[in-house]
């Protein structure tokens, strides 16, 4: 699906694998740039991956959030004011409800 739709940015969650394995799986799809949040035990794992040529800059990340800036506009445009800016926040949140558990 990634190749047929020509995606240039992907967001993956609940991967449950380490960064090295994630990068290994993304390389054949030409996603060489990755901002990775590692899983905790056997749950979680969250990343934003993008291809070369995409001007994406991760600004902040935590266990539930990756905040990025994506710049786009005329190629080679020397004046930043003529370029567009897209801010993206990727939020991953997991709620756990345990029957009979008391609130701490």
Burial class (CB within 10 angstroms; exposed 0-12, middle 13-18, buried 19+) of 103: exposed
Q: pTM for the whole thing?
A: 0.70
Write out the chain's pLDDT in tens, 104 residues. Answer: 777 888 888 888 888 888 999 999 999 999 999 999 998 887 788 899 999 988 888 888 888 888 888 776 655 544 444 445 555 555 544 443 333 444 44
Q: Are 19 and 34 in contact (CB under 8 A)?
A: yes
């Amino acid at each position: 699906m990634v190749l047929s739709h020509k995606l240039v940015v992907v967001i993956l969650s609940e991967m449950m694998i380490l960064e090295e394995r994630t990068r290994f799986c993304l390389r054949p799809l030409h996603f060489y740039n990755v901002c990775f949040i590692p899983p905790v035990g056997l749950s979680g794992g969250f990343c934003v991956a993008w291809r070369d040529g995409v001007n994406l800059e991760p600004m902040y990340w935590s266990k539930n959030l990756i905040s990025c800036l994506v710049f786009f506009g005329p190629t080679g445009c020397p004046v930043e004011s003529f370029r567009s800016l897209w801010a993206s926040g990727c939020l991953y949140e997991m709620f756990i409800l345990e029957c009979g558990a008391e609130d701490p």
